Amino acid sequence: MANRTVSTAEAIHGTNPQFLIDKIFRERIYNSRYWKEHCFGLTVTGVMEKAVELQAIGREYGESHRPLEFTCLLLKLLQLQPDQPMLDALVDQEDFKYLRALAVFYYRMTQPSLDVYRKLEPLLADYRKLRAIELGGMELTFMDQLVDDLLTKKSVFLITLPHLTRRLLLEDAGQIAPRISPLDDDDDSSSDE
């Protein structure tokens, strides 16, 4: 079970969910100490408990390119494929920022474009600080920056994200309303005065 997707899992974007992380990096995760000691036999609630303990987000660290706990838990979530109500609860909870960051990343990788925009855009108003570790070292980022990167970039932390339909196309098709920025609201209220 350690390196297999659960038998009840559905294909995501036409493939095994684990294959959303490239093979070389996936093998590096499987061979990491954290994966072998802490991720073996975890359930979704176990992943949640481990995510609460996270201290940083990112892909890998050090000269040996060791996978961070964040990406190990992301791969474990891809294996376990939590049900939709639990996933929504993980994204919506506000108590644990690294748990939310993990859930948001998983949500972006696994859900359809329309659902991604509807669920993640409200999180652009979450300005909490996050530690991000990349090969160049540690840097400070924010939850809204992570969400913006997930919505606009093709890869985050060198993890290639599945294709996301452009928001403008969904707006033109009438599937989603145009996004109103909080900055636009401020401009309107100041012009009324």
DSSP line for 110-155: HS-HHHHHHHHGGGGG---EEEEEETTEEEEEEHHHHHHHHHH-SE
**Residue at 58 is within a domain:** yes
Domain assignment of residue 61, yes or no: yes
Count: domains in the chain? 1
Length of the chain, in residues: 193
Q: Check whether 54 has a pLDDT greater than 90.
A: yes
Q: pLDDT at residue 193 above 70?
A: no
Task: For residue 64, give its domain range.
Answer: 17-163
Q: Is residue 9 part of a domain?
A: no
On the question of pLDDT at 6 being above 80, the answer is: no
Q: Is the pLDDT of residue 190 over 50?
A: yes
pLDDT surpassing 60 at residue 78: yes
State residue 189's pLDDT score. 54
Predicted pLDDT of residue 36? 92
Spatial neighbors of 116 by CB under 8 A, at least 6 apart, are 107, 108, 150, 151, 164
Residue 107 within a domain: yes
Residue with tokens 């991604």: 116
Instruction: Give the pLDDT of residue 1.
Output: 47
Question: pTM of the full predicted structure?
Answer: 0.88
Query: What is the torsional sign of CA 93, 99, 100, 106?
Result: negative
Q: Is the pLDDT of residue 191 over 80?
A: no
High-pLDDT (> 90) share of the chain, %: 58
Residue 39 in any domain: the answer is yes
Find the Cα–Cα–Cα–Cα dihedral 161, 29, 141, 45, rounded to 10°: 90
Residue 188 has a pLDDT of: 54
Does residue 8 lie in a domain region?
A: no
Distance of CA 109 to the CA centre of its chain: 7
**Tokens in use for 44?**
């979704």
Question: Of 30-34, 107-111, 114-118, 133-137, which gets the smallest average pLDDT?
Answer: 133-137
Q: What is the DSSP letter of 139?
A: E
- The percentage of residues in the chain with a pLDDT greater than 70, rounded to a whole number, is 90
pLDDT higher for 65 or 30? 30
pLDDT in tens, 132-144: 998 778 899 999 9
Domain assignment of residue 175, yes or no: no
192 is a domain residue: no
Give the Å distances, CA to CA, from 22 to 26, 75, 76, 118, 180.
Answer: 6, 11, 14, 27, 35
